[in-house]
Amino acid sequence: MKILEKVKSRLPDGVVDRMELEGSEIVIYTKDVKFFREHEPLIKSIVSEVKKRIEVRCDTSVCMDQEATKKKIMEIVPEEAKIKEIYFEPERSIVVIAAEKPGLVIGKGGETFRKIKYETCWSPRIERVPEVKSDVVEAVRKMLHQEVKFRKKFLNKVGERIFAERITHRNWIRVTTLGGFREVGRSSLLVETPKSRVLIDCGVNVGGKGENAFPILHTKEFDINDLDAVIISHPHLDHMGFLPYLYKYGYDGPTYCTPPTRDVFTLLCLDYIDVLQRNGVEPPYTAKDVKNAVKHMITLEWGEVSDISSDIRLTLQNAGHLLGSSLIHLHIGDGLYNIVWAIDMKYDRTALFDPAFTNFQRVEALIIESTYGGPNDIMPPRREAEKQLLDAVMRSMEKGGQALIPSFAVGRGQEVMAILAKNDFDYPVFVDGMIWDATGIHTAYPEYLSREMQSLIFNDQNPFKKDIFKRVASQADREKVYDEKPSVIISTSGSLVGGPALEYLKNLCEDPKNTLIFVGYQFEGTLGRKIQKGWREIPLQGENGKTITLPINMEVVTVEGLSGHSDINQLVSFVRRLRDRPERILVGHGEERKAINLARTLHKLFRAETYAPRNLETLRLV
């Protein structure tokens, strides 16, 4: 392969034992320990020339013995780092160090990290141990470690495909809308370039029926066998819930996302299967397919530039929407065209995240959401929304009652926890459902939180570890919660369509001292939406299939302004603040009238070519 030959020609004779491709990275294995310890200046000059990532690793035959390496690492790394585990991937000459404080394993300016590498000849990889235990994080990391032989072969195969010479008869760039346009749900977009085909997002419409629940893949534009890569922007089901189906039916290529997206994806897809089965619905895939998808994931940090095909470079940047959520930047060809996918993003500071990234060097085409793209979709200021939440909670506390906050497991639950913690709330807060595990994932990846939250966590002031938060892990725990008054209960599901929140509602609804606080969107037809509309007698199926009527005597409050989506003003501000103004803007992820309105608004303000496509439209960009 030409790229490997070019790199090898710049290296001293005899230092290369073998060269391999691991995805977009070139890995040089050497038995020359002196070269391994002194290679950095030469490799930096080669990288600047070939514009590819290169790593040098020692062949395991010259690495320190594994047990001796463990002892050496424990000697080098300060005890305060709290190393929990050290394990090896000899197939790739890697030692993995799992610690509660990875910064101390790296050391000031990377000094400790380099010392480990220099003295043991292993290449270190560092994992943060979640401060709040997460079974999902542990399971995913364990599985990937067990599958290291598969992963090595897979990454080699991906690399060969990326760097292979490819001749096609296409000279265009075009996109095909497969889901999530003039609607919310099942987001999916096919991007075709002269040499590649990639899929951005592959979601489900949780409330959809039949084929309307899934992306429209039975179209001649989409061929699973011609797909070079899938990119997942973030792990909400409407953006990634159909991904395992692709692997079930033959896709064996890479999926790119951030590390927290991979972990939350696992949590939510397994729950999606469980919910469907409990409701007597056959899931479109199994847990085995979810695992297979995770095995094929290649994770990228924000700002990391990676070749994903022979003519596309991918960069992920902060979307401000959810843990690890990303704006997707595609650089196509040698400066030919640039696309930014900004579907589901927040251009405002929240309790968890900084505003979405805008400093893109080039953006010819922008694809933006319109969830709140209507002319009247203006949210209250964030500070006002947080105050409304706190006021509603405190009214219940002062009456000696309980405040029930139905919440989505990922994002909104942690947002509420962070708001209570930063305001020095000192009543018990019971956390039920998947929210606790999702919180553990947040503590595993603080670098994907706001700078303010990072500062707290890195300085041993993790708000999620406050004593007020109590885990509810069983039915027995739930029974005890009712005796703890006053208190707050944060529980799934966010729309009261099931989950522990519904059980809490049955027990709390008749007491006027209690409060029901909605902090997220209540979908049409759900119990939450009915109560929000003013229903005060709710028919529910009780024991033995009999219908019972629940009187809603508790106070009902809806807190607007905590959404992870941008309102109309924030959407306009995002486009205005982009470093490079797009020539063309496509609008999706919103009801039809909102998508059309936002397209019209952006055209008037920025004189860009704007359009709100329907599903199954193909648009040529170049």
Strand order in the sheet with 609-611: 305-309, 312-318, 326-332, 337-342, 365-369, 584-588, 609-611
Q: Give tens-digit pLDDT for 503-526.
A: 999 999 999 999 999 998 777 778
Nearest to 29 by CA among 43, 15, 8, 42: 15
Rounded distance between C-alpha atoms, residue 343 and residue 345, angstroms: 6
Contact 417, 443 (CB under 8 A): no
Domain ranges of the chain: 2-61, 67-129, 172-376+565-620, 382-558
Task: Tell me what pLDDT residue 210 has.
Answer: 80
Which residue would you say has higher pLDDT here, 132 or 77? 77
Q: What CATH class is the domain 67-129?
A: alpha beta
pLDDT, position 206: 81
Strand stretches in 519-579, DSSP E? 537-541, 547-551, 555-558
Reported as a single tens digit per residue, the pLDDT across 112-131 is 999 999 999 999 999 999 98
Q: Report the alpha-carbon angle 200-296-138, nearest 5.
A: 110
In 3-state terms, what secondary structure has residue 6?
Answer: helix
SS3 502: helix
* Distance (Å, whole) CA 60 – CA 75: 21
What homologous superfamily does CATH list for 172-376+565-620? Ribonuclease Z/Hydroxyacylglutathione hydrolase-like (3.60.15.10)
Residue of 218, 153, 144, 206 whose CA lies nearest to 180: 206
C-alpha 284/C-alpha 279 separation (Å) is 14
pLDDT at site 347? 97
Contacts 24+ apart (CB under 8 A), 222-225: 222/176, 222/178, 222/190, 223/197, 224/249, 224/250, 224/251, 225/250
41 burial type by CB count under 10 A (0-12 exposed, 13-18 middle, 19+ buried): exposed
- The three state secondary structure string of 58-120 is ECHHHCCCHHHHHHHHHHHCCHHHCEEEEEEEHHHCEEEEEECCHHHHHCHHHHHHHHHHHHH
What tokens appear for 201 in the block?
A: 């997002």
Q: 19: which residues sit within 8 A by CB, 6+ positions away?
A: 4, 7, 8, 26, 27, 28, 29
Residue with tokens 């929304």: 385
Yes or no: say if 377 and 597 are a contact pair by the CB < 8 Å rule. Answer: no
SS3 515: strand
Q: 172-376+565-620: same fold as 67-129?
A: no
pLDDT band per the 50, 70, 90 thresholds, residue 109? very high
**Dist. CA 367–CA 595, nearest whole Å:** 11
pLDDT at 543 > cutoff 80: no
Q: Which of 11-20, 88-97, 486-495, 518-527 has the lowest mean pLDDT?
A: 518-527
CATH class of 2-61: alpha beta
Candidates 3.20.20.220, 3.30.465.10, 3.40.50.10890, 3.40.190.80; CATH matching 382-558: 3.40.50.10890
Burial of 611 (0-12, 13-18, 19+ CB in 10 A): middle
Alpha-carbon gap, residue 322 to 5, rounded angstroms: 42
Alpha carbon distance 177, 588 (integer Å): 9
Give the number of other Cβ atoms within 10 Å of residue 429's Cβ. 22
C-alpha closest to that of 186 among 169, 206, 170: 206
Question: Could you read off the pLDDT of 400-441 as tens digits, one per residue?
Answer: 999 999 998 888 999 999 999 999 999 999 999 889 999 999
Q: What is the pLDDT of residues 568-614, one digit of tens each?
A: 999 999 999 999 999 999 999 999 999 999 999 999 999 999 999 99
Rounded to a whole number, what is the largest CA-CA distance in the chain? 82
Per-residue pLDDT, averaged over 343-351, amounts to 95
Cα within 13 Å of Cα(18), Cβ side: 8
pTM exceeds 0.75 for this model:
yes
Local structure of 53: helix, strand or coil: strand
Share of the chain above pLDDT 70, in %: 99
Residue 237 pLDDT > 70, yes or no? Answer: yes
> pLDDT, tens digit, for every residue of 30-84?
999 999 999 999 999 999 999 999 999 999 999 999 999 999 999 999 999 999 9
Return d(Cα 176, Cα 445) in angstroms, integer: 34
Mean pLDDT score of the chain: 94
**pLDDT value of residue 280:** 87
Whether 212 shows a pLDDT value over 90: the answer reads no
Q: Where are the beta strands (DSSP E) in 445-562?
A: 469-472, 487-491, 515-518, 537-541, 547-551, 555-558
Contact 202, 189 (CB under 8 A): no
Percent of all residues in the chain with a pLDDT value above 90, rounded to a whole number = 86
Is it the case that residue 167 has pLDDT exceeding 90?
no
